[in-house]
Amino acid sequence: MRRWLFADQLGPHFLDEPDQPVLLIESKAVFRRRAFHRQKAHLVLSALRHRAAELGDQALHLRTETYREALAQVREPLDACHPTSRAARGLLRSAGVTVHEPRGFVTSPGQFTAWAQGRRSLRLEDFYRHVRVLHDVLMDGGAPAGGRWNLDADNREPPPADGRLDVPPPPMPVEDDIDAQVRADLDRWQDEGVVFTGRDGPRLFPATHAEAAARLRHFVTHRLAAFGPYEDAMLAGDPWLAHSMLSAPLNLGLLDPIDAVHRAEAAYRAGHVPLAGAEGFIRQLIGWRDYIWHLYWHLGARYPHTNRLAARRPLPRWFADLDADAVQAHCLSDVLAGVRDRGWVHHIPRLMVLGNYALQRGWRPAALADWFHRNFVDGYEWVMTANVVGMSQYADAGAITTKPYAAGGAYLNRMSDYCGSCPYDPRRRLGDDACPYTAGYWAFLHRNRQRLHGNVRLAQPLRQLDRLADLDAVVEQERHRGSRAP
Ligand SMILES: Cc1cc2nc3c(=O)[nH]c(=O)nc-3n(C[C@H](O)[C@H](O)[C@H](O)COP(=O)(O)OP(=O)(O)OC[C@H]3O[C@@H](n4cnc5c(N)ncnc54)[C@H](O)[C@@H]3O)c2cc1C
Ligand code: SF4
């Protein structure tokens, strides 16, 4: 049986035997249909071709317009690990490919279903604790290591006052002949009319298992200790801070997440990193990443179109085109430039700068999910649904989170160094220098007052809204600002 490996199943753990015959398909139609970030297209093709080169004669590597054209050339029976999208699952079924359990996640679908059955709410924290016990991760007998399950409260430090974090940056991959070939092909495709977003640049993310393993080792040795406390901080001059930059290789299937979990735990047990760093990182992997993955299937095919806040505005051109230079607001301009130049920013810029702005302005959640999917090097359909539609846009009215991630300039000012050099003032909601996030926050609450009524976590801000003497003027000011670049 030949194993069909999709382009996000490229690590050794997707094979049963090291010498198993493999099929790899490179479909150009994928890039014709939608405009992906140039660096994302580069990374995916580079990873696929590096895998083909590693496997040599063991791999049948087909470059065709569509998957079906490639499949028509294969005479042997095929099997595959469960893919990561409904479309790919449909393709495998219609092509008669034998499908095995998914790999590349810590928990199996059966384990998630057994946990979810009969629960009224599917809270991340409950799932996370369940997986810790199930896989015996950071456990001392039946109790959590250090006596606490979750050290999040210790992990919300604002950025260091001197504007820098004292950790070495992640080592960057060295491009090779395969990358040069990919770049030449993408240039040619662009000349033929294929459209990409963002800017080209040196490849910043691992394209092989060896590169990914090296980044993981470096992260655990040099950066993990600082990961916890500064997880939520943002610095204009340091986009990485102590984040792992492992989402792209994890989502390409180059690394098995349980290996990353075991390495982080071993570093804690050996006394090399504090519990807050190891626990924070492990929670991202066995909590958030697996939870988001299972929710993609659990929430169903219609969930991505959920829109309970009736947000119907289209994404404005400047945002769709990643035109950071059109934006004056320092935080949004810098984060949008990060997407344009790298196809990556860390979690808080995604949630509290990009997502928060879209939420406040009432942009259509499904369009925003598509934007994230195409423009981020780690963006895949499965990871969009709960992160963008649910968590960041609250389009399900609270199935995943207890309140919308809407915040004004005070939060961004506390967690970043952006506001000092911004033409807007985070404290002001009215006037020429009113912070668009601060004013947008009140306009958002006002617009959704009825829909959010009864949410206990919003009771206080909604009461405050009623006491704002200048509310009408703020709402009118924001109606006028609309979706223009702030
Ligand atoms: C609006 C929005 C969009 C997002 N889009 C993506 C995306 O396209 N792809 C993606 O992998 N993550 C996405 N995330 C989750 C998270 O922001 C990224 O995984 C993280 O920023 C990647 O950087 P890192 O590898 O340095 O992560 P770290 O901060 O070092 O975290 C470690 C790992 O935990 C995992 N992780 C943490 N949080 C999540 C989460 N919420 N969902 C899934 N995995 C998580 C990732 O694999 C990540 O590599 C999104 C979050 C939001 C709010
Ligand atoms: S003042 Fe407002 S717009 Fe400017 S950087 Fe701060 S939060 Fe962003």
The per-residue pLDDT for range 308-327, each reduced to its tens digit, is 999 999 999 999 999 999 99
Pocket test for ligand 2, best of 418, 441, 478 (most atoms within 8 A of CB): 418
Which tokens in the block code for residue 214? Answer: 């090296």
- Which protein residue has the closest C-alpha to ligand 1 atom 22? 247
Q: Is the CB of 356 under 6 A from ligand 1?
A: no
| Residues 360-414 pLDDT 10s | 999 999 999 999 999 999 999 999 999 999 999 999 988 888 899 999 999 999 9
- Which protein residue has the closest C-alpha to ligand 1 atom 50? 387
Pocket test for ligand 2, best of 348, 412, 429, 481 (most atoms within 8 A of CB): 412
Residues 6+ apart with CB under 8 A from 137: 131, 261, 265, 282, 286
Residue 157 — very low, low, confident or very high, per pLDDT cuts 50/70/90?
confident
User: Are 4 and 48 a contacting pair, CB within 8 Å?
Assistant: no
- Which of 98, 109, 108 lies closest to 3 in space, CA to CA? 98
- Which protein residue has the closest C-alpha to ligand 1 atom 53? 351
Read off the DSSP letter of residue 285: I
Read off the DSSP letter of residue 223: I
User: Are 290 and 128 a contacting pair, CB within 8 Å?
Assistant: no
Residue 228 — very low, low, confident or very high, per pLDDT cuts 50/70/90?
confident
| Residues 101-133 pLDDT 10s | 999 999 999 999 999 998 988 999 999 999 999
- Quick one: which ligand is closest to 416's CA? 2
Mean per-residue pLDDT for 440-461?
Answer: 95
What is the rounded CA–CA span in Å between residue 173 and residue 184?
19
Residue 447 — very low, low, confident or very high, per pLDDT cuts 50/70/90?
very high
- Which protein residue has the closest C-alpha to ligand 2 atom 7? 409
Q: How far is the centre of ligand 1, averaged over its atoms, from the C-alpha of 483 (Å)?
A: 26
Beta bridge partners of 363: 313
Residues 6+ apart with CB under 8 A from 303: 385, 389, 390, 396
What is the rounded CA–CA span in Å between residue 76 and residue 97?
10
Pocket test for ligand 2, best of 348, 353, 356, 419 (most atoms within 8 A of CB): 419
Residue 342 — very low, low, confident or very high, per pLDDT cuts 50/70/90?
very high
Residue 179: per-residue pLDDT: 98
User: Are 286 and 261 a contacting pair, CB within 8 Å?
Assistant: yes
